[in-house]
Amino acid sequence: MPIVLQDLNKQEIFRYLGYGGAEPDAVTKKLTEDCSIRLLKEAVPRYLYAVHPLRWEEEGIRVGETPLLLTGNSIKEHLAGCSRAALLCATLSQPVDRLIHGAGLRDMAESLVYDCCACAAIEQLCDQAEEEIREKLLAGSKTPLYFTFRFSPGYGDLPLTVQKDFLAVLDAPRKIGLCATGNHILPPRKSVTALIGISDKPVEAKRRGCGACPMQKTCAFRKRGDHCG
């Protein structure tokens, strides 16, 4: 499904660039503004989702009648009390990858800013997609629904190896050109897969934490005492 990104959160871009609470200089602000405008022109934001029942098996959590099996303790804890889950994938599409790569051949600083703009953009896309999904599910339900936050392959001990089956369930390669490589990387690179637990009873409020993040040992945010969420 297409989504239009009207503007990018500049403070988030500056945070990705490492400024934290500091004020960027005028040159950086101008470059960020120019890059964000160009990136929004090139990006083709798209997402897909599907809701499936969950079935707890000995080996893990089975998603509907599909081959997708979610393994590990992290996802079991995350989906505790949920009878269904919304599978979501989102991408800024291939032109953004080309934009970042092309800038890197000319100017690494410009490429870095483009990359940070794209990080902010894919997060905003996922936020908007999640909001739309929740609104549609609530509108079609006669009873209250409760949702977990987004949880992606690679978080905690949910392995990246599920990416291929995850995308196959959504038919993402055919519908929006989103695939997984043999190393479980998503091309286009500025893409996300995630699932949202759905329950008819209040779910325990859980915080997105560094402990579940696959980047916790190398994260630049943590090294300077910051966080990404």
pLDDT tens-place values along the chain, 229 residues long = 678 999 999 999 999 999 988 999 999 999 999 999 999 999 999 999 999 999 999 999 999 999 999 999 999 999 999 999 999 999 999 999 999 999 999 999 999 999 999 999 999 999 999 999 999 999 999 999 999 999 999 999 999 999 999 999 999 999 999 999 999 999 999 999 999 999 999 988 765 555 445 444 444 433 333 444 4
83 lies in which domain range?
Answer: 10-207
User: Pick from 35, 43, 53, 36: which is nearest to 4 by CA?
Assistant: 43
* Domain contains 86: yes
* Domain contains 221: no
Q: Give dist(CA 39, CA 171) in Å, integer.
A: 26
Residue 146 bridge partners (DSSP): 199
Q: At what angle do helices 94-106 and 108-139 cross, to 10 degrees?
A: 160
Q: Give dist(CA 66, CA 162) in Å, integer.
A: 12
* Domain contains 226: no
CATH number (domain holding residue 76): 3.40.109.40
pLDDT of residue 204: 81
* Domain contains 223: no
* Domain contains 93: yes
* Domain contains 5: no
Q: Give dist(CA 50, CA 85) in Å, integer.
A: 8
Domain count within the chain: 1
* Domain contains 29: yes
Q: At what angle do helices 108-139 and 26-42 cross, to 10 degrees?
A: 50
What region does 219 belong to: left with phi over 0, alpha with psi -120 to 50, or beta?
beta
